[in-house]
Structure formats: C-alpha cells, structure tokens
Amino acid sequence: MFDYVIVGGGIGGVVSYAILKKIGRNVALLEKEPYLGGCSATFRRKNYLYNAGASTLVGLEEHMPLGKVFKFLNLPKPKVKKLEVPMVVYVGDKVIKRYSDREKTIFELEKNFNYKNLKSLWQKVYSISDANWQNIYSVIPINYKNPKLLLKKFFENCRYIMQTLPYHFKTSYEFFKDHLGNFDEDFKHFLDNQILMTSQGYSEEVPISVGAMGLTYPNLDNYYVYGGMGKVFDFLAHDYKNVFLRHRVIKIRKVKDVFQVITDKGVFEAKNVILNKTIWDYCDLLEDLKENCIKNRKIYSKIWSSLTIYFNVEDKENLIDEYHYQIIHKDINPYTGSNSFFVSVSDKEDEVLTKDGKKSVTISTHCKISLWQDLDKQEYLEKKEKAKEFILNKLFEYVPKFKYLSIENVIVGTPKTFQRYTGRYNGTVGGIPLIKDYIPLRYPFNFTPIKGLYLVGDSVFPGQGWPGVIVGVLNLLLQIEDIDEILY
C-alpha cells in the first residue's frame, strides 16, 4: 500500500510527488496522458514540439518557490536563459518593452504614458508586490478551517497584515485612479491585460494587493526553458519511479482507512490521496463529494478557459528576436471575449523546440467558455477557422514581421480541447480568478471533508501559475508532513 497516491501530473501533482518521495514516503503518481505537465506540458504534433499553455517560468532562484523545491530535492535544474526583456507589450500604437530591470521599466512606462506621478506610483506597486513575496513563507501554512493556526499566523504576521490590509479592499483601478486622476484608454487596456494575465481578472475586479504582483511579474526573474516547459517535469520526476503514465483515475473510494484509487489499468491502495484536480472537477471521482463539487461549479463561475494557436515559423535570420509578446487590441475578439493574446516564440538555439530553422510558437488567449458551448460539429470547425484568422490577422497587424515569414502546421486549441486534454470541466483553465468575489474569504484551501484526501493545483490557495501552485503545495505539505526545512 502507498502512503500517498497523487492523481494528476500537473505542476501541483509533480511537485507534491517529488517532495514526498524525497522525504521517504512511498508515493505513486497517476497521470492519464503519456507525458506529465497538464496545462504546462510540451506536446508533440507530427515532428514538432509546442508548449501547450504555460511558457513563462518565474521563481527558479533559491528564495523563490520552484528554487526552494529544487534546492530541497538536491536535483539538477533544466537549462534555462534569464530574460532581460521578459515580454514586449503592444497596445494602441505603443510598443512597451517590459524590462526585468525596475528603473528601465519606469523609464519605458514614462516614455509611453505621460503621467506626472507615474514613477512614484510604480515604486509603490513594487513595494506592495515585494511585501507579498517577502512575507509569503512566513504566512504559510494557513487554513481557514483551523482557527488556532489562523490566530497564530495572524499574530506572527500582524505588521504585514495590517500594512497591506487596505490594499485588499482597493481595486487596482481605484488605486491608479486615486493617484493619476483620469487616465487614457491605452493605459487602461495596458493595466487590465497585464493584470488579467496573472490574476485572471481586470483592474476593476482585482484588488491592488494581487494586481501589483501581476504588474510586476516581468520584474521577477523570468526564464526561457530550453526544450519547453515540459522539460522541467523530467527534472522534477527524476527517475520516474512510481510515476504511472497513461493511467486514468475513474473512481476513488474510502474503505475504512484505506483509499482505493481505481484506474483504467487497475486499483491502487493508499493511506492518503492528493488530487491534482480543481475543486469543480472531482464530481465523478468521489460520490461523497459530488454535491459539494457541483456547488463549486456554480460558485466559481467566473473562470476562464483558453483558446490557443500553435504553429511553426521559419525564421532562419532570427527576425523574431523576442521571446514573448502581449498584443492588446481594442476590439473584443468575438471568438474569445477578451481583447489580448500572448505569443511565445522558441529560441533559435533551442535544438528541441526549433527544428530546421522553424521556431515553435504558442499563442494563448483568455477565452469565455460560453462562446464554445452548444455548437454542432460544422459550427465548431467554422468557428475554429474564424478564430484562427482573427488572431493571426491581429498578430500580422501589430507585429508585421510575422506576416513576411512562412507559417506552417497551424493547430487551434479551444475550450473543448482543454476539456478533453486536461479533464477540466468545460475546459476551465488558469485557476480561480483573484477577484473581489473570491478573495480573500472565498478562496479554497487544500483540505476536503474526507480525512486523508487533499487538493493541490491552481484552484486552491494561493492559485495562479507556477509560483502560486507551488506555494499551494507547500501550504499543504507543511501541515501534513515535517518539511519545515524547505522554507530555509
């Protein structure tokens, strides 16, 4: 019998597996696909590889979440390159380089937006974000259902909590309006879409406490991963011992104190189960939690999906020399319901992602689920084609050099694709939006009503992207195992 069975090999599941294995637990990881990674995998189509979703990596330094995990595991890290310009943002007629250097960032913003207080305001944004990063490891572990722990954490972090409290109640939009007065449409689009990328909500919805973290995401150390984001999973899973790929979990039952995890290839028994599923995705797995899971689908209804486009671009002369672009167009994309998209391009020297001079490109958007429901096959195929045209035309309009290069092997992923591929209800990806409706008090934690059944992934505290998911794993494991040294 295993100490732990982990269901799902996304970043949440794999980090849990690696840490538990390191401390000597007998642990199995079950993943339905032939490779690990989920929303952050790198997949092969014909002879080429593409990042399925995530393409920007932050948090690899020793004081950051993934860095702490790698240090604790004492494993080698994948080959990466630190980016001086983590992304270039196109909005209106402006091209804004998001430098990782803070001073250069302010200079670039002042060059593009003419507001008197912008410098001092952006410094304030840095300080809000820094305070969160500096205090995160002292705040965890927390759990709203454990009042004793909550009280202890409150007293330990009293100063930080009191200092940052007002920022939880002011939206990012209000914060900027208070300081700048009225601001123009381009600046609003810029704020909205930079915040959307990491917080899954717009400036009117996202408190500045988290909006600041989104706005300063490019100022963290951002890395390009050679071989794709999926490569990181090979390093974390290390020898793949007890990683069972192509094992789909169908049901989970608890008989006395033992969990029976039933897969399409047999039954695994365990004392504990960690689900790397969202809190609205385990409805069919667990009869006892079905009702609770269905309720979660209603409560967290403001979740996005994604529409993605993958292709190869022949760029032997390296004309496309940046790694990530955010294109913010004014009109709403009728096929996604959002007005921006993110483009990631492989490095010319990446021998895995760039083949025969053809770079691998992933475009991702925020997409409303409702736009892709109730379509018959013909409507679905036509809509995919139109969505592709809309996005590629916008790309050619904003970054014309793409237009003059040869583009091949275009693949379109829709919410339906994400539903099938990740097993997420309606293709919901990206985690619970960090908006006023849900934070701080309605954000779920890692515990379920069933003893020994836990949750990790981007739908539990603090959610969102790799740093959030990894902090969430630490939040769980610090409460159920003795892994305190990972924080030091």
Looking at residue 301, its amino acid is S
- Token digits of residue 94: 């402006």
Rounded Cα distance, 280 and 69, in Å:
27
Q: Does 431 bind ligand FAD (CB under 6 A)?
A: yes
Closest Cα to residue 226, out of 353, 318, 344, 319?
353
Q: Which stretch binds ligand FAD (CB under 6 A): 126-134, 208-216, 333-341, 463-471?
A: 463-471
Q: Are 476 and 16 in contact (CB under 8 A)?
A: yes
Q: Which stretch binds ligand FAD (CB under 6 A): 35-43, 101-109, 220-228, 442-450?
A: 35-43
- Binding to ligand FAD, residues 216-275 (CB under 6 A): 248-249
Distances (CA, A) of 388 to 45, 54, 312: 18, 19, 14
Looking at residue 53, its amino acid is G
Q: Which stretch binds ligand FAD (CB under 6 A): 24-32, 105-113, 253-261, 385-393?
A: 24-32
Q: Does 10 bind ligand FAD (CB under 6 A)?
A: yes
Q: How would DSSP label each residue in 340-360?
A: EEEEEE--TT-TTTSBTTEEE
Q: Does 465 bind ligand FAD (CB under 6 A)?
A: yes
- Token digits of residue 16: 């849990």
Nearer to ligand FAD by Cβ, of 251 and 403: the residue is: 251
- Applying CB under 6 A, among 171, 194, 200, 276 the residue interacting with ligand FAD is 276
CB of 156 to ligand FAD, least distance (A): 28
Between vectors from CA 391 to CA 389 and to CA 397, what angle results, nearest 5°? 100
Cβ neighbors of 473 (< 8 A, separation 6 or more) are 12, 15, 16, 19, 456
Q: Token pair 């001079």 is at which residue?
A: 357
Chain position whose Cβ is nearest to ligand FAD: 10
Nearer to ligand FAD by Cβ, of 173 and 282: the residue is: 282
Nearer to ligand FAD by Cβ, of 30 and 191: the residue is: 30
- Applying CB under 6 A, among 16, 33, 219, 359 the residue interacting with ligand FAD is 33
CB of 42 to ligand FAD, least distance (A): 12
Nearer to ligand FAD by Cβ, of 211 and 465: the residue is: 465
Classify the C-alpha dihedral 326-327-333-338 as positive or negative: positive
CB of 147 to ligand FAD, least distance (A): 27
- Binding to ligand FAD, residues 52-81 (CB under 6 A): 53-56
Distances (CA, A) of 84 to 80, 224, 323, 473: 13, 11, 10, 29
- Binding to ligand FAD, residues 353-382 (CB under 6 A): 364
Q: Are 75 and 436 in contact (CB under 8 A)?
A: no
| Three-state secondary-structure class, residue 4 | strand
Q: Does 9 bind ligand FAD (CB under 6 A)?
A: yes
CB of 248 to ligand FAD, least distance (A): 5
Q: Does 203 bind ligand FAD (CB under 6 A)?
A: no
Between vectors from CA 400 to CA 394 and to CA 401, what angle results, nearest 5°? 130
Q: Does 475 bind ligand FAD (CB under 6 A)?
A: no
* Sites of contact with ligand FAD (CB under 6 A): 7-13, 30-33, 38-40, 53-56, 248-249, 276-277, 306, 308, 364, 422-423, 429-431, 457-458, 465-466, 469
